[in-house]
Amino acid sequence: MSSNPYENEPGFEDANSDYDKKNQAAYVDKIRHESLRISVVERLEEYLGIHQERPGVTVYNAEEDYKSGGEDAPFEPFKDLCKRRFLWYYPSYLATVDEAAKKHKDGDRFEKMPFEGPGNTMEGCYQYTALRERLVKIFEELNKEMTGWAQEGMAAVHKEMGIASNLQRQFEQIVENYKADGSVTLDLNLVEKNPFVWQLVLFGRPMTNLDGGMFTIMLYISPKFPDVLPRVKFATPLFHHRVSPDGILCYDAARKDDMRSHIEAIIAAVEEESPAYDPRTLVNPEAANLFWGTADQKKVYNRKLRRSVQDSAE
């Protein structure tokens, strides 16, 4: 028998349901805030060496501890994946912060849940303004790192490092292969003869939504390739569900160490017209909502895509 004397009163179940929904929403809100702060922002700040003041908090850095015990630490592939995914999902992070900031003012305390108690609490307050500033800073630093590979690459060329000659050889082979392949029309060049910065000009295939378009795509390659994968950015604006509003392309090469595989994956990602739904590739919120929406929304997507294609040729 229940101990609640009001459970049989009219409206009790509805009131209880509303209370549960409010608790659930409050819990989700603070989980979202803390997941973004800890799993995304603080992790990337650590990777990029961006130091934030955390009074009264001691942060244990396992990577630095390991390095202090030896000169060479093993490569951490998850670090590069986190960086690439941050570039892909950066617009979504900003949209989440901006939407949540309308609901929670800076300094508002996290609401304590009924199940939270001593030793099992999540305390703190919302700080969306600071989170947004930190996200912007991370994005800026990742772009500096990406464009900085050009200078690092030329240094590798002057030192006659193996990675420089390897990329030069791959570039020359790819150019020859595409000259003999009439199915794809493209122009591939090294920027200032630097094998670490490639410029790909892709021409839209006839009878597709890209027909008539001409898209300049930049490939920035790290001297640590293939451990660190290339960053691919559209210099030509393109409204596409695989291209973020900042021009970052989301793609996945089958062979990470083969630049031809990267080129093929870039072309496939841009040209594919009926892909299977994959939430990992949703890097342009507006374009993705339209592309995966209703039939009318898909028509709007195609119109916006065609308009950006036409603009690319002007």
* DSSP percent split of the chain into helix, strand, coil, nearest 5: 50, 10, 40
Torsion of CA 250, 251, 257, 258, to 10 degrees: -130
Give the Cα separation of 234 and 246 in Å (integer).
Answer: 8
What separation in angstroms does the CA of 79 have from each of 16, 48, 63, 95, 264?
45, 10, 11, 24, 25
The pLDDT of residue 77 is 67
Q: What is the pLDDT at residue 283?
A: 97
DSSP sequence for 131-146: HHHHHHHHHHHHHHHH
Judge contact between 154 and 194, C-beta under 8 A: yes
Q: Note every long-range contact of 249-252, with CB atoms under 8 Å and residues 24 or more positions apart, other chains counting.
A: 249/217, 250/88, 250/280, 250/281, 250/283
Q: Are 270 and 254 in contact (CB under 8 A)?
A: no
DSSP 287: H
- Per-residue pLDDT, 119: 76
CA distance 256 to 226: 6
Tell me the C-alpha distance between 274 and 279, whole Å. 15
Tally of CB atoms within 10 A around 263: 24
What pLDDT is attached to residue 66? 38
Distance CA 36, CA 29 (A): 11
DSSP run (H or E) holding 170 = helix 162-179
Whether the upstream peptide bond of residue 226 has omega within 30° of 0, thus cis, is yes
Which residues lie closer than 8 Å to 154 by C-beta, 6 or more apart? Answer: 194, 196
Burial of 244 (0-12, 13-18, 19+ CB in 10 A): buried
Helix (H) or strand (E) holding 295: helix 295-312
Please give the pLDDT value at position 17.
61
pLDDT per residue as tens, the chain (314 positions): 444 444 454 554 554 565 467 778 888 898 899 999 999 999 999 999 998 665 433 333 434 443 444 444 455 668 999 999 999 999 999 999 999 999 999 999 988 877 777 777 778 899 999 999 999 999 999 999 999 999 999 999 999 999 999 999 999 999 999 998 878 889 999 999 999 999 999 999 998 889 999 999 999 999 999 999 999 999 999 999 999 999 999 999 999 999 999 999 999 999 998 899 999 999 999 999 999 999 999 999 999 999 999 999 88
Domains of the chain by start residue, with CATH: 15-143 (no CATH), 160-312 (3.10.110.10)
